[in-house]
Amino acid sequence: FSMNSPRLVASIVVRDGLHVQSFGFRTYLPVGSPVESAREFDRWGVDEIALVLLDSDLQANRRLVSEVSAAIAVPLAAIGGIRSIADARAYIAGGADKIGFNTALVENPALVHEASRIFGEQCVVASIDLVRQGARFVRWDYWKKNASNMESVAWIREVEQMGAGEILLNFPEKDGAGGGMDVEAIQQAAASTNLPLVAVGGIGTTAHAA
């Protein structure tokens, strides 16, 4: 769900080549073909699809981006697995309208800068994982499965400087639970940036989205 210009975004998490249901970014249950899931979401009337690629097989990722893009009419954001500008070009050539970074934001911000310069800020999505620590919200590391000391507002400002044109907020503690998102974290993030903001994970009812 996007705060600035309301959109309904379907997130398809891909692991071992399959669309999976993620629970807390730790447990994954198979759903089926990412391409078929994308077709169904397109039929259901979503405004955009975010393909979240957890696999390290670059060729498989590139092929899947092309297959999903060919199967849908709505815009596609391909997030994850980008280790070079060549990877980013391959995703875009395959039909991705946007490319997203998560680990690279920490480990290789120069790559994000370069992607923004070459393809434009509107093409670059910063995927941020946040967890609550008391009254604070801090960046969470997907691969290390732990929290950092970087507070959400400071991290959002950093990724803005990298050239991100959109922010995707993920909530590992809410992921797959269907109990709603962390509204306070979303409000705090929205107040700290003018970039389009998309929040993912935790929605179990239409009231949660509202």
The residues facing 199 across adjacent strands are: 169
For the four alpha carbons of 199, 204, 206 and 210, in that order, the dihedral sign comes to negative
Of the residues 42, 87, 129, 182, only one is catalytic, namely 129
Are 182 and 199 within 8 A, CB to CB? no
Q: Is 47 designated active site?
A: no
The distance of Cα 89 from the centroid of its chain, to the nearest Å, equals 18
Q: How many angstroms separate the CA atoms of 13 and 30, rounded?
A: 10
DSSP state of 44: H
Which residues have a Cβ under 8 Å from the Cβ of 181 and sit 6 or more positions away? 171, 174, 199, 201, 202, 203, 208
Catalytic residues: 129
